[in-house]
Structure 1
Amino acid sequence: MISLLFYFFLIHRDFKAHVQDALAARSYLLMNIPEGTKPLPWSLVNVDRPKQKMIKRLLPLEYYEWADRDRNRRLYGEDTVYLQPTMVVLHFTVIDDAEAVIRAFSRPTTIAVGNQKSVTSLVSVHYMVDKQGEIYQLAPENRITTGSYGVDHRALAIEMVAKDEKDLMSRPMQLLNAFYLVDGLLRKHNIPVWRVYSHQEVASGKIFLSEYTDLADTEYPYWYPKPHFRYDPGPTVMAWCREFLLRQRDLWEKHPASRR
């Protein structure tokens, strides 16, 4: 009898392990790395974590809590500014000067709430990585920000200082620091490795991301309308980030793109 129970225990354990492996394999496939994408540069492969310089430059979000709560209530159905992150979203700034970005983010502006009445608040993200790889913390990690419309209520947002993807790809040290920052946030908040998205993917809305929410827009509730579509930080940067994260977990060889 004991032997039979032990046998069933082994079968159950093996079945559970196979299911977990299958789910993990599916998760890796969700990490979109298009065929023909340039591989991760060797300067970003098996590189020790650089000594990261973290600079606190917190935006004065406390002065806009009422406006942000109103926005979150109408947009996401959540009357709070408190964040429990389940994903990370990457951006680039377009403005290629960190101090200019901080000045712009510190000025109140009109923040969209679907096609309803807008609010006056700050454009905000949690972190910004400058061209030298220095990291600025602009908001607490438990605070909902406004830079990732549609998923702000779930996302940690990271800006990388760059004019465009080509500009960003020219600075390996900036990318290395950004990728290590992402890696650390995933581990800290127990976020699955495949839950890292580009602003472009978020802009595709529910076509790409089921959590995309816009309760305030009666015309375009499922994605960004064309005038507001985003393309940052670019498909190659995202492919490099995903390859980097998989390599950090010794999972890269399980992704089909590793055989390119």
Structure 2
Amino acid sequence: MRFAIVIILTLLCSCSTQKVIVEKPITFNEDRKVLTLEYLQNRYGLDQELPEIVPKMIVLHWTVIPTLEKSFEAFDSPTLPNWRPDIKNISGLNVSSQFMVDRDGTIYRLLPETTMARHVIGLNHCAIGVENIGGTEDLPLTKAQLKSNIWLVRYLADKYEIDYVIGHYEYTLFENHPLWLEKDEGYRTVKTDPGKQFMAKVRKAVKDLNFKALPK
């Protein structure tokens, strides 16, 4: 009888850690494909027939946009909307990510994991992006989002040879790293997402995966 109880409890604990990835694809039409291939060529010098990446890192973000619907809307268009004129001259490709995590912890897949998304300067060719809804002082990231990010990091590390897990604010540490391919030395933006405390908690939870230390 005791053995049966242990089995039931183990199953219950196991089920509580399981996540479902909800497919919610953004528009990836011929225009977005062409713009993505142009981005790979012009920004990184990569001449490819397909807009694919070999994932080597995971980059965690926050959207600052308060809702899933508005965040999805911001990424859905293949071309960069007028409210981002600061980076429009770099490429007409709209920003995006492969994943988005809602405030209740629900994980949405916006793009295939090996399709390039524009979410981090210099590293899009090898980086899977995870956007978290919120991130403002009034709307800090939630515990549910933290748990989902930890689960997603483990899920992706099990599928791909992931070397690094970074916060968006840490991307410039890779400027002299072999993975860094951005050709324009003046194209940089200052980021703070997803917050140092959030990253510290994620790293602590996945310490056993032995990701590489960040460049210094």
Could you say which TM-score interval applies, normalised by the shorter chain? 0.7 to 0.9
Q: 1:56 to 1:116 in 2, by over 3 A?
A: closer
Residue pair 1:90, 1:158 contacting (<8 A) in 2 also: yes
Q: 1:190 to 1:115 in 2, by over 3 A?
A: closer
Residue pair 1:165, 1:232 contacting (<8 A) in 2 also: no
State which structure, 1 or 2, has the greater radius of gyration over its C-alpha atoms. 1
Deviation at 1:50, TM superposition (A): 2.9
Tell me which residue corresponds to 2:60: 90
Which runs of structure 2 are paired with 1:63-142 in the superposition (5 Å)?
A: 63=30, 64-80=32-48, 81-107=51-77, 108-109=79-80, 117-142=89-114
Report the number of matched residues: 192
Deviations 1:115-149 (A, max 9, x none): 99533222110001100010110000110110112
Tell me which residue corresponds to 2:136: 164
Residue pair 1:129, 1:159 contacting (<8 A) in 2 also: yes
Q: Which amino acid aligns with 1:181?
A: L
Q: What is the rounded CA distance, in whole Å, between the counterparts of 1:232 and 1:186 in structure 2?
A: 21
Deviation at 1:229, TM superposition (A): 0.9
Deviation at 1:177, TM superposition (A): 1.1
Residue pair 1:110, 1:118 contacting (<8 A) in 2 also: no
Deviation at 1:110, TM superposition (A): 5.8
Tell me which residue corresponds to 1:179: 150
Q: What is the rounded CA distance, in whole Å, between the counterparts of 1:116 and 1:134 in structure 2?
A: 31
Determine whether 1:57 maps to 2:28: no
Q: What is the rounded CA distance, in whole Å, between the counterparts of 2:125 and 2:113 in structure 1?
A: 12
TM-score for the superposition, normalised by structure 1? 0.66
TM-score for the superposition, normalised by structure 2? 0.78
Q: What is the rounded CA distance, in whole Å, between the counterparts of 2:198 and 2:45 in structure 1?
A: 33
Q: Percent identity among equivalent residues? A: 25
SS of equivalent residue, structure 1 residue 120: coil
Q: What is the rounded CA distance, in whole Å, between the counterparts of 1:203 and 1:158 in structure 2?
A: 18
Residue pair 1:164, 1:233 contacting (<8 A) in 2 also: no
Deviation at 1:68, TM superposition (A): 1.3
Q: What is the rounded CA distance, in whole Å, between the counterparts of 2:140 and 2:127 in structure 1?
A: 22
Deviation at 1:60, TM superposition (A): 1.4
Determine whether 1:211 maps to 2:179: yes
Q: 1:51 to 1:69 in 2, by over 3 A?
A: same
Moved more, 115-124 or 233-242: 115-124
Structure 2: segments with no counterpart, 5+ residues: 1-12
Q: 1:133 to 1:88 in 2, by over 3 A?
A: same
Deviation at 1:203, TM superposition (A): 3.8
Structure 1: segments with no counterpart, 5+ residues: 1-46, 256-260
SS of equivalent residue, structure 1 residue 119: coil
Tell me which residue corresponds to 1:244: 205
Residue pair 2:168, 2:191 contacting (<8 A) in 1 also: yes
SS of equivalent residue, structure 1 residue 128: strand
Q: What is the rounded CA distance, in whole Å, between the counterparts of 2:57 and 2:136 in structure 1?
A: 23
Q: What is the rounded CA distance, in whole Å, between the counterparts of 2:158 and 2:20 in structure 1?
A: 19
Q: 1:118 to 1:83 in 2, by over 3 A?
A: same
Q: CA RMSD in A?
A: 2.8
Residue pair 1:164, 1:232 contacting (<8 A) in 2 also: no
